[in-house]
Structure 1
């Protein structure tokens, strides 16, 4: 008896556990989001329960828990799922044959036809009421079998009432545990959705704060110069000087907005074949004077020549500028920054290593997050843009760093043509 009962319990629980393992985040509508898969799994559960029944108290009665997945499927899946599960259970019961076949099929039909009508109210119930509801439905289905046996076959109820009470308790407890497990999964998914939504809103608020803070500075400068020109009558040379300053501030604001747009909604120009060594050397040449002013030596080890990747040339250069500039700024006392290009059969790695102050493990994990920067006046936009650009090029960023020992950025791209 115990072995058969344990088998039936496993057949019922397994589809639910499998759903918990495979369901994607945000899929909290238990049956509907994976309608076909769950219908197949519950159909298999019903068949297995019927193929492996167990004897209950006496050798004259065998029993199985097929009604549990049938009732649960009807409640959480709706009328279409209920109809499919009824057909599966009815065909299986006809194939097995034996006494009580017509009563069993009639009982299954009543469940499949009646339970879906309860579904709208059931889905609005609190968890406690749901548990009570499934327990009552289970009891009513067994009472139907008991009285149908009495009316159709003359089975003496007073002789078998004890057996039926135990069956009701057995199936009732099983369906309650099943409903509780499903409700727990649904609640966990709801909490996960809420947490994900909260994190998105928090990221947006931080991002908005960073952008508004950075935009306010050039706007205030522009406003101040315009007010000065309104109040005082400056000569032409001074006015041109003010105009240049205002244009520089406008360019700074435009650059910030461009960074925001690249991160929020990357827009790429023509994707083309790029020589990695040419692009990297171009960036190093561009940043050479800036590095020299900070006593930082830039070195490049090209490795294999003519190694190519596919991407947007301008955005790739922008990402490299952000990483190399950060590396230079991480060496306030000067140092050495080395760029290595390594080619493998299927990928290309661009390695940027500095001898700067380094980062902790926690700081490395937060790289690319909105509003996170190791710089006093930084907003984190540069690294956010860099991560966005690299990922859009189907690349990956690996960062190894240790406080006081420098940082190594590894940018891994698929080789052109693969």
Structure 2
């Protein structure tokens, strides 16, 4: 009995392991059995069949040896179709011929009938619900064993009435394991369906956030322009006043135009504007622009001494924009003033720019959401600045790493490959 249970458990492991292995290593969103990775799964199921055949077990009696090769054969035919079924039949037939024995021809004939018949039932199988699929695989298993029982009686004179109890138990045993394998695959497919639905929902939600953000940001300059136009229509103003109004309206239109350009940045590549830049020089130029703003906010910017000539391939204007966004956020994170430390470090194949503030800090959940549309830790922020920053760095082949602790400040590390 112990040997029988050990052999049965081994066979079950040979069947379940390829399915679990596939789920673990197949890319998320593409775990569609025998569709996305047909060759891989056919090889895994072929190995499963051979292992079941070469490690059989005795079931209740020492006169007969059984294995669960039909389980991957049936499941593979139902989910893979005729081509997969044909390959699995060839593998099982060759393996059975290597083993030999009196029941070889019956086994090969049985496998042939399964390989030919089960793929024809695949369209119906795919349409029924999970409970129906369990009953369906049970029925296929029953018919397979019934064929073996009848063939054994006519070819070898095996007494049906003496073996019927054993065969019924085998039908229940193999039918349950086949149903378990099918349910496991259905569970994985259901997870994939839910994951794909969630990804689609997130895309729609992103579009919704973008629309809300664009509407929110564009409304202010448009309302301002509309107000000035209404004033100019309602009464007469001097030429100087009209020029003043027109200048303000042009500024608001330019602000709206810049906002639209920032949103288009997510889809517009910057490769045509890339040039070789010296990192230290670009950082110093950005600091010249930001020091007055930092002084106004009582923030001291300290640039650590850097001995090197690291160069990267980047868009100068966009790199400045990304650095300004991060430095501005660091300054605004210290409303009572403080110190903003900036350091440049050169490693073997990359250079990093680290910007560290001593501000309010962020939680892990807030760090994970950085760069999402319409997410900001500031009360009046829209998240647009960080969205643009993340997009710029990624388009230039860089990476952003953020570390932060609530109440102890935040550190942004921008890494770029060296030229």
Q: So what's the TM-score if we normalise by structure 1? A: 0.95
Which residue among 213, 224, 227 is the counterpart of 2:227? 224
User: Would you say 1:313 and 2:316 are equivalent positions?
Assistant: yes
Which residue among 166, 180, 193 is the counterpart of 2:169? 166
Separation in 1 of the partners of 2:358 and 2:58?
75
Which residue among 73, 77, 93 is the counterpart of 1:74? 77
Which residue among 240, 257, 260 is the counterpart of 2:263? 260
Assess if the C-alpha contact under 8 Å between 2:56 and 2:67 holds in 1. Answer: yes
User: Would you say 1:291 and 2:294 are equivalent positions?
Assistant: yes
What are the residue-to-residue correspondences of 1:47-66 with 2, within 5 Å? 47-66=50-69
Q: Structure 1 residues 371-380 or 83-92, which shifts more? A: 371-380
User: Would you say 1:38 and 2:29 are equivalent positions?
Assistant: no
SS at match of 2:64: strand
Deviation at 1:227, TM superposition (A): 2.0
What are the residue-to-residue correspondences of 1:370-385 with 2, within 5 Å? 370-385=373-388
Separation in 1 of the partners of 2:403 and 2:21?
37
Which residue among 399, 411, 414 is the counterpart of 1:408? 411
Assess if the C-alpha contact under 8 Å between 2:308 and 2:346 holds in 1. Answer: no
User: Would you say 1:282 and 2:285 are equivalent positions?
Assistant: yes
SS at match of 2:372: coil
Deviation at 1:228, TM superposition (A): 1.9
Assess if the C-alpha contact under 8 Å between 1:277 and 1:302 holds in 2. Answer: no
Unaligned runs of 5+ in 1: none
Unaligned runs of 5+ in 2: none
Assess if the C-alpha contact under 8 Å between 2:291 and 2:301 holds in 1. Answer: yes
Aligned length: 416
Separation in 1 of the partners of 2:328 and 2:269?
22
Q: Aligned Cα RMSD in Å?
A: 1.6
Separation in 1 of the partners of 2:403 and 2:289?
25
Structure 1 residues 49 and 300: CA distance shift in structure 2, 3 A: same
User: Would you say 1:362 and 2:365 are equivalent positions?
Assistant: yes
User: Would you say 1:344 and 2:342 are equivalent positions?
Assistant: no
Q: Structure 1 residues 224-233 or 373-382, which shifts more? A: 224-233
Q: Structure 1 residues 397-406 or 209-218, which shifts more? A: 397-406
Which residue among 333, 336, 345 is the counterpart of 2:336? 333
Separation in 2 of the partners of 1:325 and 1:292?
12
Deviations 1:117-168 (A, max 9, x none): 1101111110000010011001101101111122223222112212211211
Q: So what's the TM-score if we normalise by structure 2? A: 0.95
